[in-house]
Structure 1
Amino acid sequence: MALLDDVIEASGGMARWNSLNRFTLHLSVGGSLFSGTGHASEFKDVTAEGSTRSQSVRFTGITGGEYSGSFHPDAITIESLEGEVLRTWNNPSLAFPETRSPALVDELHLVFFCGVAIWNYLTNPFLLAHPDVVTEELTPWRENADTWRRLRAQFPPHLITLAPEQIFYFDENALQRRTDHDLFGMKVAHYSWAHDSFGGIVVPTLRRAQTLRPDGTVITKPVLMDVEIFDAVFE
């Protein structure tokens, strides 16, 4: 597909991506999904280390620098900074009980949600070329004065994502600028901007998730999720 080829090339190219194994990020994550349950500062100024090949992320310095948390598809753990496992959540799921949705009620839920989100943020758009991901180019979208091209992606069950179907928007430079999907019973849009190149891989360093109206326009407040990436290393 021509659009996906352009997008992957603009983000650094598949050859460069396939030569990598790991990433390390310095970032902060916040928003009403966190502050609404008293976890506003849990993921401020943390380090995230993960694999580019498989779904795994370890966050160091969560909860004010006191703990670490690890995300794997089959288990979430909270650990001391020395590596002692303090709590475990086996076979986690984003399908939280309705009484908890859309709140992220404790550190295990936070690590799972952030692990899924950050891993997908860092691996897209390359993940869209996975043989089990089905993509379809949609009609262009008018975003204020700009025209963005769009891809609908359907993810297989064995890849944990925030939603099995998502719509990706790309600007005139083939850089990802928005992603729409369902989340906790809401329609949301993740906007991304301030792209920078880290070791040849182009990453949007700012992301913001907001609720969508039925016509696809954005409700500006509250901001559900803010992500700021200060630095990234790929190796």
Structure 2
Amino acid sequence: MALLDDVIDASGGMTRWNSLKRFTLHLSVGGSLFSGAGHAGEFKDVTADGSTHTQSLRFTGITGGERSGSFQPDAITIEKLDGEVLQAWSNPVLSFAEAGSSALADELHLVFFCGVAIWTCLTIPFLLAHPDVVTEELSPWQDSTETWRRLRAQFPANLITLASEQIFYFDQSGLQRRTDHALFGMKIAHASWAHDSFGGIVLPTLRRIQTLQPDGTVAAKPVLMDVEIFDAVFE
């Protein structure tokens, strides 16, 4: 598909991506989803280490720097920094389509949600080339100043994502600028900008999730989730 080829090339190319195995991010995550559940500072100034090709991610420095949290599709753990397991959740299941305000009520659910969100954000658009992901180019989206090309993606059950169907927007340079999907019973949009290159892989260093209004425009408030990537290392 021409659009998918273009956006993968703009983000560094599939050859470069396939040569990589791991990443390390220095980032902060916040927003009303976190503060509303009593976790306003849980993911401020943390490190995330993960695999580029399998859903595996470890956050170090959560809860004020005192703990780490690991995400894999079959296990979530909360640990002391020395590796002692404090809490564990085997074979976690959380339907983001059905979950309500209690979805982020405890640290295990929080690590699960952030693990899914950050790993998916980090691996897009390369993840869209996965053989089990079905993609379809849609008509372009336009406002008064810009035209963005769009791609609908249907994710398989064996990939844990925030929503099984998502619509991605890419600017004229092929860089991801927005993603629309359902979350916790709401229609939401991820805005992404401030792209930078890290070891040949281009990432948006700022992301923001807000609700979509009935006319398809993005509501100014609330800011459900803010992600800022300070640095990224690939190897």
If the length of structure 2 is used for normalisation, what is the TM-score? 0.97
Check conservation: 1:140, 1:150, Cα contact below 8 A.
Answer: yes
Tell me the residue number matched to 2:230. 230
Between the aligned partners of 1:29 and 1:7, the Cα distance in structure 2 is 25
Tell me the residue number matched to 1:59. 59
Tell me the residue number matched to 2:176. 176
Relative distance call for 1:199 and 1:94 in structure 2 (3 A) is same
Matches within 5 A, 1:25-44: 25-44=25-44
Tell me the residue number matched to 2:122. 122
Deviations 1:57-87 (A, max 9, x none): 0000000001000000011000000001110
Letter in 2 for 1:153: A
Letter in 2 for 1:225: M
Between the aligned partners of 1:144 and 1:231, the Cα distance in structure 2 is 33
Relative distance call for 1:104 and 1:144 in structure 2 (3 A) is farther
Check conservation: 2:37, 2:102, Cα contact below 8 A.
Answer: no
Relative distance call for 1:97 and 1:216 in structure 2 (3 A) is closer
Tell me the residue number matched to 2:101. 101
Check conservation: 2:133, 2:153, Cα contact below 8 A.
Answer: yes
Deviations 1:138-170 (A, max 9, x none): 000014411100000000000000000000000
- The Cα shift of 1:95 comes to 2.1
Between the aligned partners of 2:111 and 2:103, the Cα distance in structure 1 is 13
Check conservation: 1:33, 1:225, Cα contact below 8 A.
Answer: yes
- The Cα shift of 1:117 comes to 0.4
Deviations 1:162-215 (A, max 9, x none): 000000000010000000000010000000000000000000000000000122
Between the aligned partners of 1:75 and 1:32, the Cα distance in structure 2 is 26
Letter in 1 for 2:214: P
If the length of structure 1 is used for normalisation, what is the TM-score? 0.97
Q: Which moved more, 1:44-53 or 1:211-220?
A: 211-220
Check conservation: 2:96, 2:183, Cα contact below 8 A.
Answer: no
Between the aligned partners of 1:14 and 1:87, the Cα distance in structure 2 is 37
Deviations 1:18-39 (A, max 9, x none): 0000000000000000000211
Work out the number of aligned pairs and report it.
Answer: 235
Relative distance call for 1:30 and 1:10 in structure 2 (3 A) is same
Q: Which moved more, 1:224-233 or 1:144-153?
A: 144-153
SS, match of residue 113 in structure 1:
helix
Matches within 5 A, 1:207-226: 207-226=207-226
The alignment-based identity, stated in percent, is 80
Tell me the residue number matched to 2:70. 70
Unaligned runs of 5+ in 2: none
SS, match of residue 6 in structure 1:
helix
Check conservation: 1:150, 1:170, Cα contact below 8 A.
Answer: yes
Check conservation: 1:149, 1:170, Cα contact below 8 A.
Answer: yes
Tell me the residue number matched to 2:47. 47
SS, match of residue 116 in structure 1:
helix
- RMSD of the alignment, in Å? 1.4
Unaligned runs of 5+ in 1: none
Between the aligned partners of 2:162 and 2:212, the Cα distance in structure 1 is 16
Between the aligned partners of 2:96 and 2:129, the Cα distance in structure 1 is 29
- The Cα shift of 1:92 comes to 1.3
1:5 is the counterpart of 2:8: no
Tell me the residue number matched to 2:90. 90
Between the aligned partners of 1:204 and 1:121, the Cα distance in structure 2 is 9
